Structure 1
């Protein structure tokens, strides 16, 4: 998508053509009942628009991201020659280079610090936030689908990209403090605590985040999540704040600018608290667009700052690049979050055209959290993540911040990782009508930023206040009841809700049918079908089709294997499939006839 330069010095931005945004906003999960990619001699048949949009191969293993993967099914020549090798290299050079995989950063050592004294304000920040999230990823078998990145310590040079040397010295000194000294030092800061392992864990938290940035920007992976602790978005140049020691995401942005010479970075902060630390660091920097929504309640909610309001748009050259969306009531839910993305963040983000997207991913904005008191269900974070994958060529780094209800947190983490891996997003639950308070906040932000963004200078249709359709059922637990609900009951409700929205995983994600007598390089984890359907089923599927082709035995066997795969697709024993056929026209005709025979109503 071509970008056009805007001459206005007030805007200082690049503006993308609007069709790209329109295409992204109209994203849908494929409604076709059968996803079957047919290939002739290793060349894929023309794909429909849906498949082309979803064609970036970004999962690990490969089959977890793609609806088709013909470009990696490369016939292996029986007797390779130098000329053949050169031709293969030439063909590969013409293919677009794609990063493969979703990275996961986690190290159990980051759970080795905790609060050593009684402090009700800090008591909610516990090691189990990390360990429970990782255990849930294992439960859903998501860990093995990710590319595991080793965690390293951040260097002092990297830490001081944002923080002062004096503050670094204070944090470093906590390694040798006794409990009383740790308590005294912690009291110098707001809502913060230190442990003898805080410095080590903070360096691992930051180092793991930078490892993720390196992997994404070097092309090793397409995207990823850093499951790290302590969090970072509240910490400032010379102080700890809000459980945060080093500002992981802010330093990651500075690091990407310095090492990779990036000119435009988007930071999305969906934590329920305002990330004032990030705002202070970049408020005069036009190369970083910072978006934060946060519980505000007209300055009643922590951190109780005037500069958290919608009219704080940045300073100096950074004016217009700081976007605050304050929520002035509790109970904000799925419809409100999606409306904020569609009417504020995404139009500005596409105009900004970032080269990298960093997410300060706090799940205290989800349902059940004692801090946020909001109503967004875990699948909402799947949708938010999906919308962000359309930016920066999919280069997306999600970094854990807050989240203090362990069940809600861990399920939301899993929904985020599922989406990074390329799984279809589940249907959003609940009424999809934004509340009046949310619409008011959204409109205030749009008005405050209209002077700085071309996309906001065009009057849009009034924001929808009534939905034409109903959403699916949601948790029958509005936040007003959550405070009195016991944890066990809430956990049962969440478990039931997740079972309702998540389809059971088939035994095989992707199946493949290959011609007999040929050798192909097949990605690990793809099931190669070798069982052909009975001859009578083949004959029934080919009724009305010219039978002259079926005199060849290898064609009969190929068609039979394809019918076996179609049966598995219908029975949901596999998610999708690719067929390499000696006769593409015959295979396509048989697949269509079989679909008709089975009564499948939607085919692509």
Structure 2
């Protein structure tokens, strides 16, 4: 299994700079690169990455995407004087040339290709290239929007040609629409292009009709171009996460990419003068984490925009920390997407219904009366993470944003325990984890006296026999290490998962945690008390549970995976993740009991995607002695991407109806569900 994170930075790319006054272009400064790199050094992230040198992209590589006329025009600028450079720059929309621009742009292309080679060859698992000029606006025959050559588009064509890839996902989270990338691939079904962007009903640059949600691609490429237009400023963390849950990730899992490329623009972050959005830096850690679950973790992040240096540099660091598989900080702010975001998301879902199986049962009749729906959240159009953030952004004063981000980042917890994944010696031996390709830390199980001392005050009613007491040893040993932050997560085996979980859920509450999420797969015989809201249980079982109905903090999800493929990610992305992110737990317990209804891939999907929450603190309790299950869960906890799912099948109408029913019942309590209202009310 490939490991390590590549980092590409070359100071030479800072030599591209504006030589005259231009109020449009003056924000694209060399310090965008140097400040980002310096912040990476400050967090000691550079030394943890694998350094990869940049190289110049060759003319042949540039011609994979661009015309020879465009290449020759760019080459000709190397010997021009300032007046000539200013004149030729005026031929393009929002672009400037410097004598070093051509060289810098070739380095940016080459850096992107070096990153692709490093990932595809297995030298590293993933990586980031800090480059400028950016690329996603540049078109086949024209520079555009600070971009000369389309770095990410060239990287995609290069990967297809050199490595024979047939499915590449490009995620463009820059605040501007990457129309250049769209034009290049709009007829190509081998490249799935997703872009969210400030649009404001075509009022925001580049002000193109083809930036709207109904531009889905052309010819064979229909369905492979996904535009999510933001029609208001002030979009925040919950809006971005909702877009991933309800649009990008379901399509991406169904598309099953072999490589993921990110056009990583941080002008979509708080404080940026271009974007005027309210997403704080830690949300980019979560977005990166989700993309790492695709393509066996083959992820290449390539810098695009970002014009507030502090916001940019902190967001770059969050991205790199996640690529390094550090535990994720908790995302801040109320998890309630705004009405404008919901409308955009639903428009995209409706536009792409003909092209994707996950939308098979989508009902679009809600679009006719969306704005009058009483069940949708009445949040403000600007959806700040906090009131202070809205005021700061509205003030448009860089120094205030600087002070806010300084304070905000000090309050963001960077959980870095010394050991990631713990297990016991007995489990490691029984599950044949001794020759495992990832490191698992073995902890010594508590003895009987230690267990008795731990549980005597608040578990006595559940621990009635020595046999029950001893069955808790593995679970409570690992849990105690997680709570004390000696390990990040762990895997325990229990002969009675339901009883172990019932006891284990009380311990963190006595330890002082306020919210614990428990996902139980299989028959759960002991139901924890959830009335005070400190425990949220999602019970995934084959059949309806007699006498057990869903409530805000105890949710029953009847789901049996399809035998011919995998349909469970429809439930995870459409229901479980939105609920979990709405709840914002301090700890997650995922337990597998008898008579489980999910296969190994579905269970591993839960572990993989939920690691973004609770500072990545997850306890696995497994009653099943299936060695393959144990190994898959251990690998996922240790940081491997989720296993391949095989053929995707859409959920049955019966399953879709159940999700609709649960959403209708619970969407006022868990507001992230309100982005998937497709019940046609």
Please identify, of 135-144 and 119-128, the stretch whose mean Cα deviation from structure 2 is larger: 135-144
Contact 1:512–1:526 (CA under 8 A) maintained in structure 2: yes
Residues 52-75 of structure 1 show CA distances to partners (whole Å, capped at 9, x for unaligned) of xxxxxxxxxxxxxxxxxxxxxxxx
CA distance in 2, matches of 1:189, 1:334: 34
RMSD value, Cα: 3.7
- Displacement of 1:389: 1.2
Q: How is 1:561-580 mapped onto 2 (pairs within 5 angstroms)? A: 572=485
TM-score (norm 2): 0.62
1:153 to 56, 72, 87: 56
Runs of 4+ off more than 6 Å: 460-464, 507-514, 520-529, 537-540, 564-570, 576-579, 595-599
In structure 2, the residue matched to 1:212 is 115
Three-state SS of the structure 1 residue aligned to 2:267 is: helix
TM-score by length of 1: 0.69
List gaps (5 residues or longer) in structure 1: 1-97, 515-519, 545-563, 580-591
Deviations 1:12-32 (A, max 9, x none): xxxxxxxxxxxxxxxxxxxxx
Matched, 1:496 2:407: yes
Q: Are the aligned partners of 2:328 and 2:415 in contact in 1 as well (CA < 8 Å)?
A: no
- What is the 5 A alignment of 1:171-320? 171-320=74-223
Q: Distance in 1 between matches of 2:508 and 2:297?
A: 40
- Unaligned regions of 5+ residues in structure 2, if any? 426-433, 454-476, 493-502, 514-588, 590-618, 622-681
The equivalent of 2:397 in structure 1 is 486
**Secondary structure at 2:223 match in 1:** coil
* Cα deviations by residue, 1:477-532 (Å, 9 ceiling, x for unpaired): 34454242532322121122122222364577799999xxxxx9999999999xx9
Please say which of residues 258-267 and 570-579 is displaced more in the overlay. 570-579
Q: Shift of residue 299 of structure 1?
A: 0.7
Shift, 1:149, TM fit: 0.8
Structure 1 window deviating more from structure 2 (401-410 vs 386-395): it is 386-395
Deviates further, 480-489 or 230-239: 480-489
- Where 1:289 maps in the other structure, the secondary structure is strand
Contact 1:367 1:479 in 2 (8 A): no
Q: Which residue of 2 aligns with 1:400?
A: 303
Mark the CA change 1:208 to 1:528 in structure 2 (over 3 Å): closer, same or farther.
farther
What is aligned with 2:608?
Answer: none
SS at match of 1:244: coil
Q: Deviations over 1:90-147 (max 9, x none)?
A: xxxxxxxx11111111111111121000000000000111111111111111111111
Say yes or no: does 1:353 pair with 2:256: yes
Query: Larger relative CO (CA 8 A, sep 6+): 1 or 2?
Result: 1
Aligned twin of 2:288: 385
Describe the shift of the 1:358–1:504 C-alpha distance in structure 2 as closer, same or farther (beyond 3 A): closer
Seen in structure 2, the aligned counterparts of structure 1 residues 506 and 176 have a Cα distance that, compared at 3 Å, is: same
CA pair 446-528 structure 1, distance change in 2 beyond 3 A: closer
- Matched pairs, number: 466
Maintained 8 Å contact 1:433/1:467:
no
1:577 Cα deviation after fit: 9.3
Would the alpha carbon gap of residues 474 and 297 (structure 1) be closer, same or farther in structure 2, given more than 3 Å must change?
A: closer
Could you give the per-residue CA deviations for residues 365-422 of structure 1, whole angstroms, max 9, x where no partner exists? 1111000001111111111111111111111111100000111111111111111111
Equivalent residue number for residue 573 of structure 2: none
Quote the residue 2:388 is aligned against. Answer: 477
For residues 258-277 of structure 1, the C-alpha deviation after alignment (integer angstroms, 9 at most, x for no partner) is 00010111111110100000
Equivalent in the alignment of 1:429: 332
Q: Note closer, same or farther for the CA distance 1:149–1:323 as it changes in structure 2 (3 Å cut).
A: same
Change (3 A) 1:566 1:390: closer
